[in-house]
Structure 1
Amino acid sequence: MFGADKGTADRLDGKELVIGIVQARFNQGVTNVLAKACWDTLLAHGVEEKHIDHVQVPGALEVPVALQAMAEKGGYDALIALGCIIRGETYHFELVANESAAGVTRVSLDYQLPIANAILTTEDMDQAIARQEEKGVDAARVAIEMANLLERLG
C-alpha cells in the first residue's frame, strides 16, 4: 500500500464519533433491516449508543432535508441515509432515485460532512431484500471510515 494510510482497525474506530441516521419509512420492512444492520455495525465498531441520533422521515425524497437539518445543527462526525426505492411502472422511480441521491450529495458537499448513502434503488423487492443487511453494514463502515479520514485531513 502506498503512503502512510492507517490500517483498517484505525479507519473503523468509532469511539468518540457522533453519527446521525435518517431512515425513510417507505418500504419500512427493508429500511428497518437496513437500520438494524447499521446500528449493530456502529456499536460493534465502538460508537456509543448515546452518540447515535436516529430519525425517520416519510420517504427517500425527505431524507436530504433531514440530513441538512442535522448538518446545520452540527455536532455530527458523519451522517447516514437509509431508504429503499423500488422501480414501478412509471418515471417516478427515476425522479425519486435521482433527486434523493443529488440531495444527499449536495448536503455532504455543502457542509463538508461525510454522508453514507444507503438508499437502495432496486428493480424489485427481492433485490432489495437481498441487499438490505449488507448495505446497512456498509453504510455504518463508510460513515466511520470517512469521519476518521476527514478528521485526519482536517
Structure 2
Amino acid sequence: MASARKNLSTYDESNLPDATEYTIGVVVADWNEDITHALYEGCYDTLTKHGVKEENLHVVQVPGSFELPSGARILAGREKLDAIICIGCVIKGETKHDEYINNAVAQGLVNLSIATGKPCIFGVLTPNTHEQAVDRAGGKHGNKGVEAAVTALRMAELYRNKPEGKRSIGFGG
C-alpha cells in the first residue's frame, strides 16, 4: 500500500502481543543517517512501548543498506533472537544503483529469513527524493520504523508459537 494513503505510524495495538519476553535484533544503516536514525527512534519507541526490555534489544550499525543482510546474519549468530529488523534508506539517484541495492537487500533478507527460520523485517525506505524519505521517517506519512517494529512483533509472535516438530516445504527452523 502506498504510504501516501496510509500513515506508517498508525496501527491497531490490540493486534500486538505482549513482548516482554521477546529478544529483538535491530540493524541500522549509517548511510542517510538523518533518515535511518529517525526510523530507528520510531522503531525503538514502539518496541519498548509494547514491552521489549532494553536489555533484550540488540542493535548494530552497518555502513549502508547493502550491508544490512550481513549485519543481520552476524547478529543472528551472536544472539538468540525472535526477530531482526533491518533499517535503511536508499534514495534514487541518477543511475540504477538504487535498484541493485534494494533488490540485493530484499533478496538477502528473504534468504536469511528462510535459512534461519527467523523473521527478518525489511525496514528500508526506497524513496525517489530526500523529501520523500523525510516524509516517511516521522514526517507527514508517519514513520516506517514504527511499521517495521509492529511487523517484527507480530512475526515474533508467529515465530514463538509455531508448531513444534512440524516442517513445511522442507524448511526447518
TM-score normalized with structure 2 length: 0.81
Report Cα offsets for 1:89-147 as digits up to 9, x if no partner.
Answer: 01211111111111111111110101121111010011111111321101111111100
CA offset at residue 150 of structure 1? 1.6
Q: Which residue of 2 aligns with 1:142?
A: 151
Q: Which moved more, 1:22-31 or 1:130-139?
A: 130-139
How far, CA to CA, are the matches of 2:15 and 2:130 in structure 1?
A: 36
CA offset at residue 8 of structure 1? 5.5
Report Cα offsets for 1:4-61 as digits up to 9, x if no partner.
Answer: xxx9646332110000000000000000100000000000000001100111000011
Q: Is 1:79 aligned to residue 88 of structure 2?
A: no
Gaps in structure 2 of 5+ consecutive residues: 1-11, 164-173
Q: Which moved more, 1:82-91 or 1:101-110?
A: 101-110
CA offset at residue 69 of structure 1? 1.3
Q: Is 1:151 aligned to residue 157 of structure 2?
A: no
1:90 to 95, 98, 102: 95
**Distance verdict in 2 for CA 1:135–1:10, change over 3 Å:** closer
Q: Which residue of 2 aligns with 1:40?
A: 45
How far, CA to CA, are the matches of 1:67 and 1:20 in structure 2?
A: 8
**Distance verdict in 2 for CA 1:12–1:126, change over 3 Å:** farther
How far, CA to CA, are the matches of 1:108 and 1:124 in structure 2?
A: 29
Q: Is 1:106 aligned to residue 111 of structure 2?
A: yes
Q: Which residue of 2 aligns with 1:31?
A: 36
Q: Which residue of 2 aligns with 1:3?
A: none
1:16 to 12, 21, 25: 21
Q: Which residue of 2 aligns with 1:52?
A: 57
CA RMSD of aligned residues (A): 1.5
The percentage of counterpart residues that share the same residue type is 37
Q: Which residue of 2 aligns with 1:119?
A: 124
Gaps in structure 1 of 5+ consecutive residues: 1-6
How far, CA to CA, are the matches of 2:116 and 2:23 in structure 1?
A: 16
**Distance verdict in 2 for CA 1:61–1:153, change over 3 Å:** same
**Distance verdict in 2 for CA 1:39–1:8, change over 3 Å:** closer
